[in-house]
Structure 1
C-alpha cells in the first residue's frame, strides 16, 4: 500500500513493485540505524497509521518481536488481522482502531516507533510528532516516512499560489489536511529535544511509483475495480497525474525523517 524504493543500481527490476516496497522498509530501517544485533534489536514496535498491516507484518517477522498497528479504520484493522493470520503471525502482530493523535499506550512503551506514509493524513502535525515521541521508550528510534511539500527559502512566507492550488486539488481528492515541509518536521523534533535527527528527500527513488499505479488502473481489471469501488475512489484515481506533476515540479517531496529519544 506504500511507495516503493526504486534503486537504479539494484539488480532487482524496476518493474518489481513488491520488491521495491520491501526495499522501502529496509532502506528506512538502514537510514535510521535500527540495530540488527539480536541483543540490541527492537523488542516492541508500534506501526502508527498501519493500514492493512504490511509494515507491521514485515517488522514483526524481521525482528521476531511483537508489533502493534493502529488505524482509524475498522475495515483496515479487520483486513490486517486476517492477513496476519494467513501469514501465521497472529501471535506477533495486533491491530487496534485508535487515533494517532491520542494513542492508547503508556509513555515509553515502544523500542521502535514507525510511521509509513501516514503523517500526511494528520491534521495536527505537532500533536502527531509529540505522540510519537511520548510512546517511544528511552533510546528508541522514531521513523517518519511521509509526503511533504518543498522546503521554503528564507525569503518565502508560504508556497506560491499555483503550488497551493495544485496541493489543494490533491488534498481534496485524498481527504488530506494541510501539508508541511521536511524542515517543519525537523523543527518539531528539535523542539522535543530528540537526538540524532536527520532527514532526506527520497523523491528520486520513488519516481516510478505513480506511473506504475496509473498503468495498473488503466487495465481492464483496474477500471472494473474503480467502477465497483465508487466515486470517491474514482476521484482519487483522477488526481494521480497531479501527484506526478507535483513531483516533477519539485513541489511534492517524499521525505524520511528519523531521530532517537534520549536515554
Structure 2
C-alpha cells in the first residue's frame, strides 16, 4: 500500500493547530515564536475551516494501543527512514538534545556537540590524550552517526553504530567517508536487543536517546552488559518517566494518557524510570553506577525545535516526509508538556563492568 502523503491543506491545518500549543508552553522571552505562529494561524484561517477534520486526524492518531515488538521495529525504521533527511537538513548530523548551560545560549548545533562532550565528562571518561580513553566504541541507536564520528575524532577510536533504519545506516557511512573517517566508523542495520557483536567487544558502550524505543528493557540492558568489556563503561542517556514516589504503584491516569499519545507518534513502547534502569544494572553486577536528571540542561531545546518547525524549509520538508513525520512534529508539544509537568525526565546513567 502506498504511503499516505501530506497535502498542503493538511499541513496548514496542522500548523494552525500547533500555534496555540506554542503560546501555551513558550515563555514571554519567546515572543518571536508566538508572533510567527499567530501570523501563520491568521493566514491559514480559511484553510483551517475546510480541513479541521484533517487536524483532528493528526491529534487523534497519537492515540492507540501498544504495538508489539515487530510492529515497533517496522515503525521505528520507517519513521527514521522518512524523517532523518529533514532533521539533517534543519539541524545537522546530531539527532539528539543540546546542552544548554547557560540556558540562554543560541548556538544550537554546538549545544548538541557539547551534550556529547559533557556526557562523556560526567561519566568519567578521560580526556583525549589521557590514559584510559576508549578505543573500541559501539553506538547503540546511532542515528546518522553524529556521536560516533565525534567520538572517533576525539579519541582516535574505532566506532560501530547500529540502527533499525537502512537510510540512517547508509547516510552514516556516507558521512564517515566524506569526513575521512571510513576506516574508523562503520554503521549497519541491527537490533539492539540482539546485537551482532562478540561478548565483551567494546570498552565504551554508548546509547544516546535510543533506550526509550526498546520494548524489552531487561533484554536491552542484558545486551549492553554483554558487549562491554571488563573495566569498560556503559553510558545510557534516555527519556524516562519520573521515579515513583514512596507508596505509588504506578503513574497517574493523566500521566499514562500523555505518554500513550507520545508513544503513538514516536513508535515507543511502555516507558520506565531511571530507578528501573538502575535496578536492572545492579542485578547484573554493574559497579560505579551513577545517575542524574539532566532535564534542566535540555529545557530550551524543544522550544528551539518547535521554532524551527515553523520555517518555510521545515514546512516543505514535512510535506515531503509524509504523515508520520507530521504526527511526530505535533508530538513535540506533548513532549514539552511532559517535561514541563515533571513527568518526562532526561535520564543520565553510567556504570562499569567489573574487572576480571
In 1, Cα distance between equivalents of 2:105 and 2:317: 25
Aligned residue number for residue 34 of structure 1:
125
Instruction: Please give the per-residue CA displacement for 1:50-75, whole angstroms capped at 9, x wherever unaligned.
Output: 01000000000000010000111111
Task: Give the match's secondary structure for 1:89.
Answer: coil
Task: Give the match's secondary structure for 2:299.
Answer: coil
In 2, Cα distance between equivalents of 1:206 and 1:38: 29
In 1, Cα distance between equivalents of 2:313 and 2:225: 42
Aligned residue number for residue 6 of structure 1:
100
The alignment's TM-score, normalised by the length of structure 2, stands at: 0.72
Instruction: Please give the per-residue CA displacement for 1:187-214, whole angstroms capped at 9, x wherever unaligned.
Output: 0100001000011000010001111111
Aligned residue number for residue 163 of structure 1:
255
The counterpart of 1:67, out of the listed 150, 159, 162, is 159
Task: Please tell me whether residue 187 in structure 1 is matched to residue 279 in structure 2.
Answer: yes
Task: Give the match's secondary structure for 2:198.
Answer: coil
Q: CA deviation at 1:113?
A: 0.3
Aligned residue number for residue 111 of structure 2:
20
The counterpart of 1:228, out of the listed 302, 314, 320, is 320
- What pairs up with 1:114-133 in 2 under 5 angstroms? 114-133=206-225
Q: CA deviation at 1:40?
A: 1.4
Instruction: Please give the per-residue CA displacement for 1:164-192, whole angstroms capped at 9, x wherever unaligned.
Output: 00000001111111110010010010000
Q: CA deviation at 1:38?
A: 3.9
Aligned residue number for residue 240 of structure 1:
332
Q: CA deviation at 1:39?
A: 3.2
Structure number with higher helix proportion = 2
The alignment's TM-score, normalised by the length of structure 1, stands at: 0.97
Structure number with higher strand proportion = 1
In 2, Cα distance between equivalents of 1:162 and 1:48: 32
In 2, Cα distance between equivalents of 1:239 and 1:58: 29
Task: Please tell me whether residue 198 in structure 1 is matched to residue 310 in structure 2.
Answer: no
Aligned residue number for residue 87 of structure 1:
179
Task: Please tell me whether residue 177 in structure 1 is matched to residue 274 in structure 2.
Answer: no
Aligned residue number for residue 77 of structure 1:
169
In 2, Cα distance between equivalents of 1:46 and 1:110: 7
Q: How many residues align?
A: 260
Q: CA deviation at 1:14?
A: 1.4
In 2, Cα distance between equivalents of 1:235 and 1:42: 38
Aligned residue number for residue 347 of structure 2:
255
In 1, Cα distance between equivalents of 2:123 and 2:230: 16
Higher RCO, Cα 8 Å, sep 6+: 2
The counterpart of 2:309, out of the listed 217, 238, 242, is 217
Query: Considering only CA atoms, is the larger Rg found in Structure 1 or Structure 2?
Result: 2
Task: Give the match's secondary structure for 1:208.
Answer: helix
Aligned residue number for residue 32 of structure 2:
none
- The gaps in structure 2 that reach 5 residues or longer are 1-94
Q: CA deviation at 1:242?
A: 0.9
- The gaps in structure 1 that reach 5 residues or longer are none
Aligned residue number for residue 96 of structure 1:
188
